[in-house]
Structure formats: structure tokens, C-alpha cells
Structure 1
Amino acid sequence: MTTKRTFRVWRGDGGDGELAQYEVEVNEGEVVLDILHRLQATQAPDLAVRWNCKAGKCGSCSMEINGRPRLSCMTRMSTFAPGETITITPMRTFPVIRDLVCDVSFNYQKAREIPSFTPDPATAPGDFRMAQADVGRSQEFRKCIECFLCNNVCHVIRDHEENKEHFSGPRYLMRAAELEMHPEDTADRRKVAQEEFGLGYCNITKCCTEVCPENIKITDNALIPLKERVADRQYDPLVWLGTKIGLRKGADTPIVPNTRPAPADEPR
């Protein structure tokens, strides 16, 4: 069944633009990206929309639909009430290039700042064995499709542009947590997570978890465990004593290898 629906779509570039209203045909079973394609084909051929796979796996078509960060290819028209006007705007946290396309290079800059995986060079390839719990933890974090909806909704950078210099956002704090909790990674990422990636700015509101299209429990399984490890490093008396002993031996920045497998009851 075909019906006419009202759409308000952001048109403009940079900081200059406005919402334009369109009446567009909608067919049963369609998603918002289908409607944007029809709009391009019939009324607005110059409408800029970023997309790729149309299967919810590339993260390209992130935008805000009725104020909520979503993937347009996974947002069915049937989720909206009959007669409801659908407002489509670009992600608010990132600069607008044109229409619904944003400049998300901030995210790639933060990705380059994360120290790479650092295995023990003394371990021969193929000799290391991981517990299934550790495998499952990494697999959950690696489901991320880098849609950046979590970074978009995070109010630490959404409402405070100045924090972008010191806060990497939940997506890359999750990457730091993944490496920190990997039993074969030997680098201590707790200090860099706190001092360079701004872990302390996160106040665990769970808004990043709520918008994740892959249903990754970013807050419970990555950010909170990473915060706990940072707190252990700063306040645990045994860790403090080990740090002091390391300094007496002349180490400028003592490194505590992260070789401890996570306890069975630790959030995954």
C-alpha cells in the first residue's frame, strides 16, 4: 500500500541551512533510506546523503531521525505513527559538510592516537591460548561498525566542543578497554585512557549503549570495567607500592603488564 508522508529534511552546508518540507510516497516495508533515495530521484536530486551497504553493517548512513541518532537503512517507516511528520537532520556532534553528510574525521584522528596491540615478543606465534571468556569479550567489542552514533549522542562532546581535544568518545574508549582487557596485550593502557583519552569525563549515562545498532553494552562491558582498572591503578595500595618500587629502580614510567585474565564474574 502506498501513502503520502510528510518529511522535513535538513538542507544546507556548514552552519547555514534550514529544514525543507517534502511530501513523498511511502510503500509498505520501506526504511527511511528508501525514502531519501526516492526524494533524490523525484524532488531533490542534489540532496547529499552518505550510505553504502544498506544492510546495517557499514555505519555510513548515520543521521538523526525525529531527534534520535539512528541508521537510516535500519529505521523502518512502520515505526512511526500514521500521519507523523518525520524530521531528518545530520548528526549534531560533527560539522556538516552538506545536507545530511557530516565530517567525521574527528573519530579517525582519535583512532590513530590509540597505541596498537602490543603482544609479548617472547611468546612464539601460535603458543598463546585464550580462554573463551576473553574471546567473547573481544568479539563483542569488534562488532562495532563505526557508525559513530555513540560518539554523536555522548553529551560530553555533543554539548561541549572544547572537550574534543581531551575526550576520545565512547567508541575509542571501548577500543582502549578491549586492548587493556586482552590477556596477550602487555601495554598498560590505564594511564593513557585517563590522561589522554579523557575517561574521567564519562559519567556513565549509558546513552551510548542505548543508540548502538549492534547492541554492544559499551558502558557496562567496556567503560565501567576500564574505570575500575584505572581506579585500581591509582588507589590500590599494592599497585601503588609496586609503582614506587619501579621508580626506585629508575623506571621513568613503570609499566604493569596486563596479563591477568579477567575474573569469571567481571562484566563482559
Structure 2
Amino acid sequence: MTHTAHFKVWRGDAEGGGLADYDIEVNEGEVVLDIIHRLQATQAPDLAVRWNCKAGKCGSCSAEINGRPRLLCMTRMSVFDPAETVTVTPMRAFPVMRDLVTDVSFNYTKAREVPAFVPPPELEPGEYRMMQEDVGRSQEFRKCIECFLCQDTCHVVRDHEENKPAFAGPRFLMRVAELDMHPLDAAAESGLDRKRTAQEEHGLGYCNITKCCTEVCPENIKITDNALIPLKERAADRKYDPLVWLGNKIRRRGE
């Protein structure tokens, strides 16, 4: 069963561009990436798009479809009315390189700013032991495929370019949260306070938990509820809870 769909696809580069109109055949069971590939094969051979696995696991084909950040390979054409115009544009939060390809190097810069896992000094590799419950907590965050849709939809990054130097974004605050709740991470013993750095260096306070990052995550990670809110609570306890403050004072005095 086939029908003809009307597509609007953003064409251009860093200097500017606009939406180009295409009428294209759609077959049953296809996804938006199939249509983009057909456009490349039949009407727009120079159309640039980033993709790799076509299975929702590499995170490469991130774009915006009718204004919503999505993976092209995981968005079925059946969700659109046959008479509906499907508009495909590059991720808005990042600079356009060409057509649907954006420069996401901002995210790799932020990734390098998050200190890595600190192994416990008293244990050798292979001696690590964790409760299954603790494994499950962090395993959810390890499902991330680095599609950066959460980064794209976060209005702190999307609508305020000036925030980028001070704000890591939900993907990397989630990484900080994962490490902070890891029972074997020895960051505190090495002098690294992940809750303090989350607040002061990675911009945790900019996040106002609207859950837009959770809504677009293709892996259904509960970024806000399971990572960002608990991290905010722990950061607030560290900074404002009088009992925690007193305990830190006593601890420091005894050292």
C-alpha cells in the first residue's frame, strides 16, 4: 500500500538556507529515514543527512520532524496522516553544517568536562562487587545512545546560546548523577565533590525540571525523575541542610 507524501526538508548550510518542497512515494512500514534516502536517490542526490545503524541504537540520525526532536529511523510514516505535510529540519540547538547535519561538538566538549569514574583504591580490577539494585540504578543511564535529542530540546540550551559555556545539559548532568550515586565511585575520597561541581561547574541550577528531555528520549530513560531531580536534592542537602552543614564542619575539624 503506497501513497504520495508532501515533505518539506531544510536545505542549506551555515550561511543560511530554507525549506525545499518534495512529493515522494511512501510505502507501508517505512520510516522517515527511508523517505530521506529515497529523496537522495531520486530527487536530491546532494542532500546531507547523518545516519549509521538505522536501528535506533547509534543516535546518528537526530533531527526535528514537525518541530519535535526525533530519530529519523525510529519515526514511522504511519504516525502521520497521508495528507499531512512532514517537515524535517536539523536540530535547532546546534550549528548547521549542511542540510540536516549539525555540529554537535558542543556535547563532546561537555563530556570531557565531567571527571571520570574514580576506582576505589583498596580494590583491584575484578574485585568490584555491587548489589544488583545499585547496578540497576545506573544501568538505566547507560542505555543512552548519545543522540543528543535531550540536549536539543532543553530550552536552557535551545533558546539561550549564552548559557552553553555554563550549562552541561541533561545528558551530561545525568552522567554526573550516575557517578554520584555509584557505590564504588571514590571521587569524594580523592577530593572531588560531584554534587558541588554539578552545581558550580556544570550548571545544575539552570535546570528547572520541565521533563522535556525525558519526553524525547528514544531509550525512555527517565532523565528528570531518576537523575536530575535526585541530583538536585543531594546538591541542595549538601549546601543548605543545617545538619549536613554541621556534620561537614565537625568532620573537617577532626581532620
Correspondence for 1:190 among 189, 192, 195: 195
Structural RMSD (CA): 1.2
Residue 104 (structure 2) aligns with: 104
Match of 1:144 in 2: 144
CA distance in 2, matches of 1:245, 1:123: 28
Structure 2 letter corresponding to 1:228: E
Q: Deviation of residue 192 (structure 1)?
A: 0.4
Say yes or no: does 1:212 pair with 2:213: no
Task: Give the aligned partner of residue 265 of structure 1.
Answer: none
Query: Which amino acid counterpart does residue 80 of structure 2 have in structure 1?
Result: F
Equivalent in 213, 228, 238 of residue 223 of structure 1? 228
Alpha-carbon distance in 1 for matches of 2:251, 2:168? 29
SS at match of 2:69: strand
State the AA in 2 paired with 1:40.
Q
1:19 corresponds to: 19
Cα deviation, 1:213-236, whole Å, max 9, x if unaligned, reads 000000000000000110110122
1:65-107: CA deviation from partner (whole Å, max 9, x where unpaired): 0011000000000000121000000000000000000000000
| 1:120-156 C-alpha deviation (Å, 9 max, x unpaired) | 2112333332111110011100000000000000000
Match of 1:86 in 2: 86
Aligned counterpart, 1:201? 206
Partner Cα separation in structure 1 for residue 249 and residue 18 of structure 2 = 58
How many Å separate the matches in 1 of 2:246 and 2:8?
60
Structure 2: runs of 5+ lacking an equivalent: 188-192
After superposition, what is the alpha-carbon deviation per residue over 1:4-46, rounded to whole angstroms, capped at 9, x for unaligned? 1100000000140000000111111100000000000011000
Q: Distance in 2 between matches of 1:150 and 1:32?
A: 20
Counterpart residue number, 1:162: 162
Task: State the one-letter code of the partner of 2:242.
Answer: P
Please tell me the residue identity of whatever aligns with 1:100. L
Following superposition, the deviation at residue 243 of structure 1 comes to 2.8
Question: Aligned partner of 1:56: which letter?
Answer: G
SS of match in other structure, 1:112: helix
Which secondary structure state, in structure 2, belongs to the residue aligned with residue 165 of structure 1? coil
Q: Which residue of 2 aligns with 1:3?
A: 3
Gaps of 5+ in 1: 251-268
* Aligned partner of residue 122 in structure 1, secondary structure: coil
Q: Give the Cα separation in 1 of the matches to 2:30 and 2:124.
A: 52
- In structure 2, what is the equivalent of residue 54 of structure 1? 54
1:39-73 superposed Cα distances (whole Å, 9 cap, x missing partner): 00011000000000000000000000001100000
Mapped partners of 2:128, 2:36: distance in 1: 49
Distance (Å, rounded) in 2 between the aligned partners of 1:63 and 1:121:
43
The Cα shift of 1:242 comes to 3.3
In structure 1, what is the equivalent of residue 70 of structure 2? 70
Deviates most, 202-211 or 236-245: 236-245
TM-score by length of 1: 0.91
Distance (Å, rounded) in 1 between the aligned partners of 2:139 and 2:95: 31
The answer for the alignment partner of 2:121 in structure 1 is 121
Q: What code does the residue aligned with 2:113 have?
A: E
How far apart, CA to CA, are the structure 2 residues paired with 1:249 and 1:17? Answer: 64
Range with greater deviation from structure 2 (120-129 or 52-61): 120-129
Give the match for residue 248 of structure 2: 243
Q: How far has the Cα of 1:248 moved from its partner? A: 4.2
Cα distance in structure 2, aligned partners of 1:195 and 1:249:
26
Task: Tell me the distance in 1 between the aligned counterparts of 2:151 and 2:61.
Answer: 15
